[in-house]
Amino acid sequence: MPVRANKGVPVEKTYPTVAALTPSSTTNFALDVTSLIEEVRFRFTASCVLAGCGAAPTLRAESLENFFSSIQFLGNAKVNGADAVQFSNVDASYLRFKESLIRNTLPKRTNMGTANATFAVESNFTKFFSGKGLKNISDAFFLDTRKLQSLNVAFTTRDIGAFVDPATLDGGTLTVNTPQVSVHTVGWQGGQIATGAPYIKEVTRKFSLANLTGLAVPFLNMPVSNIITRQTFKATSGNTDYADPTDATFSSPQPAGAIIATKVTGAGGDKTPLSMSYAHMQAYDKVRAKLENWPVGYATYAYSRTGLLEDALSMKGIITGENDIDIVPPGGGATNTLYITDEQVVANN
């Protein structure tokens, strides 16, 4: 495993160009492939114009971040005909939440208002390829882009319904002008190439909760073969699958509240490394992250209590993995959705 001396000299770069976004489309932004990347920081800005609204519209709770349905890192190895490799696939709301855990504070954000006016909005969020939060070895985690022929960030966006509930515009309009993302990378340059150097990969599994209710509802397809360091659970409820986060999905009739369990099956049979109530998870999360205000609808679990990688959840040799969760989706005909983001340590071969 590489150490600091192998990584070369520290470098940071703000790209002079920006990713100019269009609603309901995908925009690719090319990153340099000359360094070891630890962090990629994003700054989203736009001018939002509300006009002609008879009453104040309803803002989405995660309005600015909702504009991004996904942010993917896609790269091609230096081999002719090599398939594109996905290094991460999450959304902006997750990246902002994860950054609050790492920095112990919420990133800078300026939201729009609800009056008929023009608003300059801004949201900042970061993708960490380093293992920040893991002891001793976080310094050895990075994405070695020098092994790649190309590396792109693919921003997939939604329409104006991401910002406000269109049904509440009351005869008015919302126009989003000059939406764009500026990109800043933090890394190292000039060091040795290390075979198998690890990086943090995060991918979100999304589940519709339509017709799902009860105890220990299985949510399948946990990633296997790597090491899972963290899982983040988020529930939403409203008129779309990216509606406002809610705790109500986890209001189990059990006395201790809704249980979130992890069950893995390998050659030695079934094991349950986690069985914790949503309420306990949130309470512990708040203390560990030192956040005064814990966001509604989120809970996260770091599998290594010691912070050491060897104490995380190894999925090597595991055949299947699932999360069994007590689910009581809010009623009223709402669209109820569960997002589970798996954070893994992956070898950068």
**DSSP secondary structure letter of residue 103:** H
Closest CA to 90 of 163, 25, 21, 154: 154
Picking from 185, 234, 212, 153, the residue whose alpha carbon sits closest to that of residue 330 is 212
- Contact between 154 and 327 (Cβ < 8 Å): no
**Ordered DSSP codes for 274-301:** EEEEHHHHHHHHHHHHT-SSPPTTEEEE
Pairing mode, strands 318-327 and 197-208: unpaired
Residue at 113: amino acid letter:
G
Whole-number pLDDT of residue 308:
87
For the chain, which domains are there?
Answer: 1-194 (2.70.9.30), 199-349 (2.60.120.20)
Q: How far apart are CA 164 and CA 301, in angstroms?
A: 31
Helices and strands: H and E segment counts in the chain: 3, 20
SS3 category, 92: helix
Q: What DSSP string runs through 157-180?
A: E--GGGTB-GGGSTT-EEEEEEEE
Q: Which residues contact 188 (CB under 8 A, 6 or more apart)?
A: 7, 8, 9, 10, 11, 35, 36, 38, 142
Q: How far apart are CA 200 and CA 113, in angstroms?
A: 36
CA 50/CA 64 separation, integer angstroms: 15
Give percent above pLDDT 90 in the chain.
81
pLDDT at 136: 58
What is the model's pLDDT at position 349?
Answer: 67
Q: Are 250 and 230 in contact (CB under 8 A)?
A: no
User: What is the C-alpha to C-alpha distance for residues 227 and 247, in angstroms, rounded to an integer?
Assistant: 28
8 Å CB contact between 177 and 45: no
**172: CB partners within 8 A, 6+ apart:** 50, 51, 52, 53, 54, 57, 116
Per-residue confidence (pLDDT) for residue 324, from 0 to 100: 97
- 119 vs 112: CA distance, rounded Å: 5
The alpha carbon of 167 is separated from its chain's Cα centroid by a whole number of angstroms, namely: 28
Task: Give residue 226's pLDDT.
Answer: 94
Q: What pLDDT is recorded for position 19?
A: 98
pLDDT tens digit at each of 349 positions of the chain:
334 447 889 999 999 999 999 999 999 999 999 999 999 999 999 999 999 999 999 999 999 999 999 999 999 987 655 678 899 999 999 999 999 999 999 999 999 999 999 999 999 999 999 988 776 555 668 999 998 999 999 999 999 999 999 999 999 999 999 999 999 999 999 988 767 778 999 999 999 998 888 999 999 999 999 999 999 999 999 999 999 999 999 988 789 999 999 999 998 899 999 999 999 999 999 998 999 899 999 999 999 988 888 899 999 999 999 999 999 877 767 899 999 999 999 987 6
pLDDT at 133: 72
- Cα–Cα distances (Å) from 22 to 18, 27, 271, 323, 347, in that order, read 13, 8, 46, 36, 34
Collapse the DSSP code of 266 into the 3-class scheme (helix H, G, I; strand E, B; otherwise coil) and give the result.
strand
